[in-house]
Amino acid sequence: MKKSLGLLLCGMLLSGAGGDPLFAQGADMQPGGRMASNVYSVAAAADLVPKVVKDVSPSVVGIIGKYSGERSSGPDDRYNLTHGSGFVVKANGWIVTNAHVLEGLQNAVAVTSDGKSYRITDTYVDAFSDLALVKINAKGLKPVKFAKSGADIQVGEKVIAIGTPISFSLRNSATVGVVSGLNRSVDAAYRLIQSDTAINPGNSGGPLVNMKGEVLGVNSLKFAAVDVENMGFSIPADTVQYIMNQLLKYGEVKRPSLGLELEESWSAIVGLPAQDPLTVTKVISAEARKAGILEGDVLYSINGRRVTSLVDINELFLSYTPGKTVQLLMQSDGDIVSRKLVLGQGDPLMDMEDDEAGGGADEQAE
């Protein structure tokens, strides 16, 4: 994956560092004096913020543990800690967080909003998506409510981030902003939600929620540089639930793979709105070789869906499974051809040492 100035929120920690409608009667008037019931009221949304925070906070946890990375000065360094955030998805103690929150974390505990601490007993990590699932021995917890699949999120919509910024003593801090953009592709395997909600080191793994108290995504990274302000990114709820369900069912994510190394065009890398195809730089799997795919071929579409970036393929494969046969529209030796390919399993589009090897870990922006 490409590097940029994007920073995973937990990566900067090492110094220790629903319900009610959003549409208000009387917000607008239609001819004849009839009130419009579908006009968004900023005032109404603002009034909902305290209620949403109150409703969602019991589902949000802080995650803290001893850091075993390069900064460690020895086993007796009691202050060598790092922390992040998470939220309850099952009443019996399953919690979603970011994979990078758990990286280098030992003897981790989760602290609920009422101040109770629980040792993390089970951990499932998917580095490719930067998502993880952990388990604590607790019952009767309050799980979050996810926004419905395909929810109509709007740019400008008010959102709230809840988490544990900077200091673990600041658990369940809430900040408010708006959705700044959708379908962003920055330092991640999947498309992200951009918001201007203030998120800081330690907010990683916490929820981004709408004014119905529904989780829209997991706060995961931000741009941090001189003259850069309020540019945070969250993994969308649909992606989170896909990864979560796979981890709960299999203990891993069974991703389909083309068995190819693909190179994006210059336009796709820099974010220009181009329709350039992807170039095959290496044929990895036996199935791909059997399909007649060669190095230097270019890929235009999968099952009729145009793909111009690696993220396009990752997003498409959220609804596919290994073993499925797909139709590829390609150009080979100057000719437009159609190839049938049986999808393998592994981290998609990652270099593998051989046909049976799984994909490598996603490069993280630090």
pLDDT in tens, 53-87: 999 999 999 999 988 866 545 555 666 788 999 99
Say yes or no: 29 and 87 in one domain: yes
Say yes or no: 211 and 323 in one domain: no
Q: Does position 358 have pLDDT exceeding 60, yes or no?
A: no
Q: Which of 226, 253, 280 is the last residue of a domain?
A: 253
Say yes or no: 171 and 223 in one domain: yes
CATH at 46: 2.40.10.120
Map tokens 């049986």 to a residue.
342
Q: CA-CA distance, 60 to 119, in Å (whole number)? A: 16
Residue 322 pLDDT level (bands cut at 50, 70, 90): very high
| Residue of 204, 257, 301, 309 marked active site | 204
Say yes or no: 303 and 239 in one domain: no
CATH at 270: 2.30.42.10
Q: Does position 200 have pLDDT exceeding 50, yes or no?
A: yes
The DSSP call for residue 223 is E
| Residue of 100, 195, 301, 312 marked active site | 100
Question: Which residues, in sequence order, are CB contacts of 333 under 8 Å at separation 6+?
Answer: 294
Say yes or no: 298 and 193 in one domain: no
Does 39 or 92 have the greater pLDDT score?
92
pTM (predicted TM-score)? 0.80
Q: What domain range is 3 assigned to? A: 1-253
Say yes or no: 206 and 60 in one domain: yes
204 an active-site residue? yes
Say yes or no: 292 and 246 in one domain: no
Q: Which of 223, 238, 253 is the last residue of a domain?
A: 253
Task: Tell me, yes or no, whether 75 lies in a domain.
Answer: yes
Say yes or no: 299 and 247 in one domain: no
130 an active-site residue? yes
Task: Tell me, yes or no, whether 52 lies in a domain.
Answer: yes
Say yes or no: 8 and 60 in one domain: yes
Task: Tell me, yes or no, whether 356 lies in a domain.
Answer: no
Question: Which residues, in sequence order, are CB contacts of 161 under 8 Å at separation 6+?
Answer: 174, 175, 177, 195, 197, 198, 199, 203, 206, 207, 208, 209, 219, 232
Q: Does position 22 have pLDDT exceeding 50, yes or no?
A: no
83 an active-site residue? no
Residue 42 pLDDT level (bands cut at 50, 70, 90): low
Task: Tell me, yes or no, whether 363 lies in a domain.
Answer: no
Burial letters for 139-174: b for 16+ Cβ neighbours within 10 Å, e otherwise? eebbbbbbbeeeeebeeebbbbbbbbbbebeebbbb
**What is the pLDDT at residue 268?**
76
Chain centre distance of CA 55 = 23
pLDDT digits (tens, 9 = 90+) for 150-180: 778 999 999 999 999 988 888 989 999 999 9
Over residues 239-255, the mean pLDDT reads 94
The DSSP call for residue 26 is T
Over residues 305-326, the mean pLDDT reads 93
> For the chain, how many structural domains are there in total?
2
| Residue of 55, 126, 130, 297 marked active site | 130
**What is the pLDDT at residue 62?**
95
Q: Which of 253, 277, 307 is the last residue of a domain?
A: 253
**What is the pLDDT at residue 19?**
39
Say yes or no: 213 and 104 in one domain: yes
Q: Does position 13 have pLDDT exceeding 60, yes or no?
A: no
**What is the pLDDT at residue 28?**
41
Q: CA-CA distance, 67 to 90, in Å (whole number)? A: 27
